Amino acid sequence: MFRYKIVLSLLKFQNVLEQLQPQSQQKTYLLAVSGGVDSMVLADLFQVSGLKFQIAHINYHLRNDDSNLDQKLVSDFCERYKIPFHLYEVSAKDKKPENSIQNWARELRYQFFRKIQKEQNLEYLVTAHHLNDQLETFIINLSKASGIKGLSGIPANENKIIRPLLNFSKDEIYEFAEENKVEFREDKSNQKTDYLRNKVRHNVVPELEKINENFLQNFSKSMEILNQTKDVLNDLINEKITGFKTNVETGQTIIDKDKFSKESDLIRFEILKRFGFSDEKEMQKIFTAQTGSLFFNSEFQLVINRNELIFEKKLEVRNENLEEILLEIIDKEILIPENIKSEIQEFGNCFWKIDKQKVQLPLKLRKKREGDVFFPIGMIGKKKISKFFKDEKLSILAKQKIWLLCDANEQIIGVLPFRQDGRFNSDDSKSFEVKI
């Protein structure tokens, strides 16, 4: 009935795919197909299984005629089986770097795949990574002192990328191709040892297999155990993070520094990784940082505030990047922009009356500057804004959110929403009003 002689292997593939993607027959996938044996077997398995899919191929034009022959093989396969074919041909505009060609090629590849997925409304990308790729990745990551995530290898299903051949060895894939006359092309550059992965493939793995002929099978079992261990650790970290204090309104996660210091290095590292801090040296600095220290990454900022670690998601455009904001006055109400209101309301509310005769219009909001002083209502004399912040025990993150209400002469009318300057206070019913 089946064209495949190795029926069990076909069924094994189908079972793996169904585990990764329940109701797989109802979905349409994008397959990344280079023309090599791995991806051509993947395409053949999908076609024989009657699955709905489209194919994406990228021609880097790095191997002269070989690159074009790869493209022709893939396009012929698509034409034969009436499969939608998407091609990207790399050109001079793609600016090939002198080094890190593999990283450049990978980035181009995935940009193209994401573009096709979006245009064709294809939720899942399927790649032909296999067990030997998994082993090579493990060895490379081991050489870099990776943590459990790196050592647990390439995930079979993560971020809408599916890898159904991950438990198949390269030999099994070649056997598929030979037994079922699957056409493919060999990339001669894979025989070179210029790149780290190729060095591992040709120089390291064969030596390991000499030591133990069942090395690859044993490695596969070890990966299962490592992944189970990773899952247990993830559950533990999730439980720890759930126990931290959070502020839904501000998006802050607050960790007690003393409790955090009592955790093992492994737990602390894994927690920090969840907040985007993965550099080991930076992590060590965080562990020993003093109050007021500030750390950033692409997603979060972390402030060390006395006995707390305060994590907060970075906003794409933060209000403090604005130099100043001129304010409108309608009737007698000074209009504070809603986005600023919502940001400072976490510190409290205020209702101020401001003497019209003592301020110069226009009024504005701005951030604290070096040397700023004001005369807090209810106090005698002036106080530096920096000292006021300190007395209010404001964290660095809180200070970043505070706005000063000033007039055109740079007189500070108040620190919103904490304290008005007493010099401008008024009981006159016709005075300007600020409401937070």
Q: Alpha-carbon torsion 192, 198, 201, 204, what sign?
A: positive
Q: What six digits make up the tokens of 81?
A: 């089986």
**Annotated binding residue 36:** yes
Rounded to an integer, what distance in angstroms lies between the CA atom of residue 128 and that of residue 37? 9
* Residue 354: Cβ within 10 Å count: 23
CA 58 to centroid of chain Cα atoms = 25
Q: Are 77 and 56 in contact (CB under 8 A)?
A: no
Residues in Cβ contact with 413 at an 8 Å cutoff, skipping those fewer than 6 apart: 352, 354, 359, 363, 405, 406, 407, 420, 421, 424
Strands 124-126 and 161-162: parallel
Which pairs from 147-155 meet CB under 8 Å and 24+ separation? 147/269, 147/270, 147/273, 148/226, 148/229, 148/230, 148/233, 149/230, 149/273, 151/226, 152/223, 152/226, 152/227, 152/229, 152/230, 153/223, 153/226, 153/227, 154/129
Distance CA 367, CA 331 (A): 26
Give the DSSP per-residue string, 199-238. Answer: HIIIIIHHHHHHH-TTHHHHHHHHHHHHHHHHHHHHHHHH
> CA-to-CA distance for 79 and 77, rounded, in angstroms?
5
Please indicate if the annotation marks 49 as binding a ligand.
no
Is 169 annotated as contributing to ligand binding?
A: no
**In three state form, how does the secondary structure of 27-54 look?**
CEEEEECCCCHHHHHHHHHHHHCCCEEE
Ligand-binding site membership of 143 (annotated): no
Cis peptide before 376 (omega within 30 of 0): no
Q: Is 371 annotated as a binding residue?
A: no
> Does 37 show up as a binding residue in the annotation?
yes
* 40 neighbors 77 (Cβ within 8 angstroms): yes
CA 39 to chain centre: 27
**Tokens 């599916």 identify what position?**
162
- Residue stretches of the annotated binding site for ATP: 34-39
- Residue stretches of the annotated binding site: 34-39
